[in-house]
């Protein structure tokens, strides 16, 4: 169902003005995203996402104009891609993967991964998966907040990686021999330029401190539970723990539909906003929007919005099976330095 989104001027809240450094970094990241895979393939999958999430007009505003008759036809039929002719095997494999990611990234199968690896190398697979995470995040930003980093992009003339259709790559194995690497090692090894641009965005977001640490950690952990990310669920923000976050609160977050009275009204509003952003219904009710406007300034809301973009990157890690906990079976505390760098500070049972 296409929804009428309430907008004033450039959107519900002027995220660019509220958090200009994070917004500029996000803009650069989205520009780079269109060079990580064939733009026509990315546009096809984003067009499908718009239909799936009920915001086809918003998706249309974010994709380049089709450049071939094949692109015109497949975008027109993508809502029912599994039963329609005319899609290449690579397109079907990528749509199958992305559809599962939208429903539940932990449900992506090795068969789906292998179908893409019949056409792409592991590095290209990671590039495609990462690009779709970010384009999907921009679509959600556009639908929920009326914000767009890019407007309608043009098709890049150069820089896009070639997508071979006649080679078979290995499984998404560790990029180096020896001990199992962490997710960051995969990204750095397979997509070093992307790692740098993504890191720059993450650094700007992690510098932000307008929202209290407990509220942000509740929203982060709620997303971790929804995406079933072992890495994220085993982390605890040290400042939030010092300020009162406990494991009873974390357990309460996992209850379906729960926003218990132990959470403040402000926290409940933030958790509900996160649920909208990460869910399949991107429409805020007037009541929820009123609550968010009551409890959060534009600066704070922009901080939550960009933080949600960072946190939902775990969907790629979960889908590709590389969301390794820092220490399996243990909780690991972390904090951010003043320059936005993450560091681990303690571990516990």
Query: Domain 209-348 belongs to what topology?
Result: AhpD-like (1.20.1290)
For residue 4, which phi and psi values (nearest 5 degrees)?
Answer: -90, 115
pLDDT along the chain (349 residues), means of 10: 34 77 94 96 98 93 94 97 97 98 95 96 95 96 80 44 33 57 86 95 96 97 95 95 94 74 90 94 89 94 96 95 89 90 73
Alpha-carbon span 27 to 39, nearest angstrom: 17
Helix (H, G, I), strand (E, B) or coil at 157: coil
User: Cβ(81)–Cβ(95) under 8 Å?
Assistant: yes
The reported pLDDT for the residue numbered 290 is 93
For residue 75, which phi and psi values (nearest 5 degrees)?
Answer: -65, -35
The reported pLDDT for the residue numbered 13 is 58
User: Cβ(240)–Cβ(217) under 8 Å?
Assistant: yes
User: Cβ(196)–Cβ(285) under 8 Å?
Assistant: no
CA 133 to chain centre: 5
Classify residue 37 as exposed, middle or buried by CB count within 10 Å of its CB (0-12, 13-18, 19+): buried
Domain boundaries, the chain: 15-204, 209-348
Q: Which helix (H) or strand (E) holds 333?
A: strand 331-336
The reported pLDDT for the residue numbered 162 is 34
Selected from 1.20.1290.10, 3.40.50.720, 3.90.1170.50, 3.40.50.150, the CATH number assigned to the domain covering 15-204 reads 1.20.1290.10
What global pTM score does this model have? 0.88
């Amino acid at each position: 169902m296409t929804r009428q989104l309430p907008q004033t001027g450039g959107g519900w809240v002027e995220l660019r003005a509220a958090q200009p450094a994070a917004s500029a970094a996000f803009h650069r990241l989205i520009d780079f995203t269109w060079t990580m895979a064939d733009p026509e393939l990315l546009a096809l999958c984003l067009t499908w996402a718009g239909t799936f999430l009920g915001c086809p007009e918003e998706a249309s505003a974010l994709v380049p104009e089709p450049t071939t008759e094949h692109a015109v036809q497949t975008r027109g039929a993508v809502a029912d891609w599994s039963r329609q002719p005319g899609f290449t095997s690579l397109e079907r494999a990528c749509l199958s993967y992305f559809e599962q990611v939208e429903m539940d990234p932990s449900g992506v199968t090795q068969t789906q991964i292998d179908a893409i690896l019949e056409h792409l190398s592991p590095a290209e697979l990671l590039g495609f998966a990462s690009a779709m995470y970010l384009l999907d995040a921009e679509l959600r930003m556009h639908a929920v907040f009326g914000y767009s980093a890019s407007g309608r992009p043009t098709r890049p003339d150069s820089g896009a990686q070639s997508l071979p259709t006649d080679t078979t790559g290995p499984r998404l194995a560790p990029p180096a021999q020896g001990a199992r690497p962490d997710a960051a090692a995969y990204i750095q090894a397979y997509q070093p330029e992307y790692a740098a641009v993504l890191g720059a965005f993450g650094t700007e977001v992690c510098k932000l401190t307008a929202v209290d640490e407990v509220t942000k950690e509740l929203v982060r952990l709620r997303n971790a539970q929804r995406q079933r990310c072992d890495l994220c669920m085993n982390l605890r923000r040290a400042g939030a723990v010092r300020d009162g976050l406990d494991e009873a609160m974390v357990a309460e977050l996992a209850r379906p539909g729960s926003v218990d009275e132990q959470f403040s009204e402000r926290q409940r509003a933030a958790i509900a906003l996160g649920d909208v952003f990460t869910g399949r219904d991107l429409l805020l009710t007037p009541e929820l929007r009123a609550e968010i406007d009551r409890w959060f300034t534009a600066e704070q809301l922009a901080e939550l919005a960009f933080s949600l973009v960072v946190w939902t990157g775990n969907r790629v890690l979960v889908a590709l099976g590389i969301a390794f906990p820092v220490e399996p079976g243990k909780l690991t505390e972390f904090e951010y330095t003043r320059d936005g760098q993450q560091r681990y500070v303690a571990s516990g049972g």
